[in-house]
């Protein structure tokens, strides 16, 4: 088992938990009764992620990827919406931000 710090953000307030989680454990996030399975799958870039997918960044930010980009330029960042606020997300590494897809039940 490895020690991992788990960050939970509710209405902008961050809570931290230290837990022992075995690698490969099934983790489920529940928001307003809707379950999101979090898998310890391979990370991919935001650009590789399919449009419409819910994802989490390494910083614990949850968002959904839109089919749109912020401009028509070929390297423009993909539009993403934050799950906690509904606001547009902007990532420092743009489309190269590493993410994990979250399966929505």
CATH match for 24-104 among 2.30.30, 3.30.70, 1.10.1760, 1.10.287? 2.30.30
Q: Collect all residues with Cβ–Cβ distance below 8 Å to 48 and sequence separation of at least 6.
A: none
Predicted confidence at residue 32, as pLDDT, reads 72
Backbone angles phi and psi of 98, in degrees to 5: -85, 130
Least confident of 11-15, 68-72, 76-80, 99-103: 11-15
Neighbours of 12 (CB within 10 A): 7
Determine the Cα–Cα distance for residues 28 and 30; give it in Å rounded to an integer. 6
Predicted confidence at residue 33, as pLDDT, reads 74
Question: Which of 52 and 16 is assigned the larger pLDDT?
Answer: 52
pLDDT confidence tier of residue 48, bands split at 50, 70 and 90? very high
- Spell out where 1-105 has E strands: 2-10, 13-21, 27-31, 34-38, 44-45, 54-57, 62-69, 78-82, 98-104
Predicted confidence at residue 1, as pLDDT, reads 44
Determine the Cα–Cα distance for residues 29 and 48; give it in Å rounded to an integer. 23
Whether the per-residue pLDDT at 24 is higher than 70: the answer is no
């Amino acid at each position: 088992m490895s020690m991992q710090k788990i960050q939970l953000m509710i209405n902008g307030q961050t809570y931290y938990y230290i837990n022992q989680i075995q690698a490969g454990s099934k983790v489920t996030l529940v928001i307003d009764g809707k379950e999101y399975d979090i898998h310890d799958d391979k990370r991919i870039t935001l650009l590789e992620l399919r449009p419409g997918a819910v994802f989490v960044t390494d910083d614990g930010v949850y968002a959904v990827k839109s089919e749109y980009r912020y401009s028509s330029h070929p390297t423009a960042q993909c539009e993403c919406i934050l799950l906690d606020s509904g606001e547009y997300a902007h990532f420092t590494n743009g489309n190269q931000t590493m993410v994990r897809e979250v399966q929505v039940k």
